[in-house]
Amino acid sequence: MISRGVIIKVYCTIIVVLLFTLTGCKSTPTPVKPINTTPAELSHFPTDALTQGANIIDTQLSLADRNLYLANSGNIKMLSTAQCPLEISAHRGDFRQPESSANAIASALNDNFNSVEIDVMLLKDGTWVNHHDSQTGRATVYYTGERFKLNRMSFKEFSNLKLRDKHSNNLLNQRPITAVEAFKTFAAYRHNNQQLNVEIKSDTNGQKLVELDNMLRRYIGLGGFYYSSTNQETLYKLRGINPSVYLGFIQGGHPTSVEKLAADLRKGVKNDAYYLDNQNNLELAGRYGTKRYRSRYKDYTSKSSLSALHRKLGSNSGIHLDIRSFMQHSNVKHDAHQLGMKVYTYSLNGSEYHQSQLVKLSPSTLPDGAIVDATPYNICQRLFNAAIPAKQYQAISPVGRYITSLPQDADFDRFDEMRGYQHEGYYLSLNAGLKAINSAPVAPVANNIPTPLLEHGFPTITDEKIDNDTGETIILKLPTRSQ
């Protein structure tokens, strides 16, 4: 018979073995922290800066000397927009991304826009969605090709829409987002001072506006958003709902801008991409002909009209004008500021036209903000030369030396394209296309012989000018056969 002491020893041995076994099972390798591959020289750059690749340190430091950096997306961005005292708002998000997408909002925020403008409207079932046009077919397409009015769509039908790629116009395997999704995306990517400009496209009742305001307060918070609309009554209702929020009244496009847009559309009707991208801009002027529009167009830039608008919307309000209206009423900013109101500008005729008008203004006469389809770099550099080289860094690589050699008007929005001219000594200018980096000015040579061009670019041949003045008579005597 086994003694009690032996049994106890056996049990103890078994327990010890089990303990060692369990210890061995639990002994897992200590987690290895991921290695930070960002070079120390680039550690102070934004989180989306490209940090890997040939000559990346020299490239980034050469760009940084101009207040720029190269992002992972391949885009050139500004390190700081502090040198640009103008609020720059991204029209429908980043213009390079599909409309009504989360990417359009996130990309604009990462590109240092001061604010991001989006459009919201109601579906048939009362769902707020991020959508600009009153019907599908341009930026969003139903999978069957059928066109829908947004206010007649259910959410199920809306979820079957596909986004359209802006560059190719091909359909993407993405759907447009709801307003809640837009607000959540904005909240996730925004910096402290960035705001969301929510343009309300639907005429609706106070209850739905309360619902919208509550969603914005919940996901973004007071101070992180403001409203704009072409409908003063909608803004008036919102003032009762939210006494402190900024309200921007959008005055309709100038009649000349509307006529120019309509004419451009007629010319570009065979260009599907152009036509699709611009046809619904006429919605801002209302869906009626320009002759009728001229008779119904209302101008609110006078002192009396601004005062009436101020009384209706309150002190934290403003007027958003077509750039043509702003340029034709030089006192509107002064009069608005006396009432504590702001003035923003937009354009129906493209970002290039918008900027061509802004550059005519002095810094003190610029609007408070501009809603644009361009990058902050493009706006800030043209208006404020915000990317002037500090000349505090000496480049060592060919690409770095190319960056530092580029003149002040180089178009860094086209950096990849511009690098194709690196070895030829050329660059792309913001205003004048392809130019030589070091070209001596050539004195123009007077040409007194006109060479007008025909329609297809062939020169018209002109006779040489003949001097008809008479001088001394010269007699030529020709030999005859007899001689």
Tell me phi and psi for residue 125, to 5 degrees.
Answer: -90, 10
Tell me phi and psi for residue 118, to 5 degrees.
Answer: -130, 160
**H-run or E-run covering 235:** helix 232-241
Only one residue has tokens 């700081």, namely 80
Find the Cα–Cα–Cα–Cα dihedral 416, 418, 420, 423, rounded to 10°.
-130
Q: Residues 384-411: pLDDT tens digits?
A: 999 999 999 999 999 999 999 999 999 9
Buried b (16+ CB within 10 A) or exposed e, 304-327: ebbeebbeebbebbbbbbbbbbbb
pLDDT value for 453: 46
| Amino acid letter, residue 319 | I
pLDDT value for 275: 46
Only one residue has tokens 């040409």, namely 447
Residue 333 near residue 367, CB atoms below 8 Å: yes
Q: Residues 177-220: pLDDT tens digits?
A: 999 999 999 999 999 999 999 999 999 999 999 999 999 999 99
Residues 6+ apart with CB under 8 A from 39: 51, 56, 57
**H-run or E-run covering 229:** strand 225-229
- Give the ranges where 332-420 is alpha helix by DSSP (H): 332-338, 351-358, 376-384, 398-405, 415-419
Question: Please, what is the average pLDDT of the chain?
Answer: 84
Q: How confident is the model at residue 478 (pLDDT cuts 50, 70, 90)?
A: low
* β-strands 87-91, 369-372 pairing: parallel
% of the chain surpassing 70 pLDDT: 77
Average of per-residue pLDDT across 245-259: 95
Nearest to 123 by CA among 94, 86, 151: 151
Does 18 score more than 90 pLDDT?
A: no
Lowest mean pLDDT among 4-18, 125-139, 218-232: 4-18
In whole angstroms, give the CA distance from residue 283 to residue 455: 35
Average of per-residue pLDDT across 282-306: 68
pLDDT value for 281: 52
- Domains of the chain, by residue range, sit at 79-384, 398-436
Average of per-residue pLDDT across 64-74: 94
In whole angstroms, give the CA distance from residue 428 to residue 378: 13
Residues counted in the chain: 483
Nearest to 180 by CA among 123, 133, 125, 120: 120
- Give the ranges where 1-139 is alpha helix by DSSP (H): 4-26, 56-64, 102-110
Tell me the DSSP string of 430-447. TTTEEEETT-PPPPPPP-
pTM of the model: 0.79
pLDDT value for 16: 43
Tell me phi and psi for residue 162, to 5 degrees.
Answer: -115, 140
CATH number attached to the domain at 79-384: 3.20.20.190
Q: Which of 276-285, 341-350, 415-424, 437-446 has the highest mean pLDDT?
A: 341-350
Does 115 score more than 80 pLDDT?
A: yes
Residues 6+ apart with CB under 8 A from 3: none
Average of per-residue pLDDT across 48-54: 93
Q: Residues 413-452: pLDDT tens digits?
A: 999 999 999 888 999 999 888 999 986 444 444 555 554 4
For residue 344, the number of C-alpha atoms closer than 13 Å in the C-beta half-sphere is 27
Inter-CA distances, 92 with 106, 137, 458, 479, Å: 11, 17, 43, 88
Angle at which helix 232-241 crosses helix 206-219, to 10 degrees, equals 60
- Give the ranges where 250-350 is alpha helix by DSSP (H): 255-267, 272-278, 290-296, 303-313, 323-328, 332-338
pLDDT value for 473: 43
Supply 301's token pair: 């830039």
Higher pLDDT, 47 or 442: 47
pLDDT value for 278: 53
pLDDT value for 5: 56
pLDDT value for 439: 64
Q: Which of 9-23, 36-50, 280-294, 468-482 has the highest mean pLDDT?
A: 36-50
Tell me phi and psi for residue 195, to 5 degrees.
Answer: -125, 160
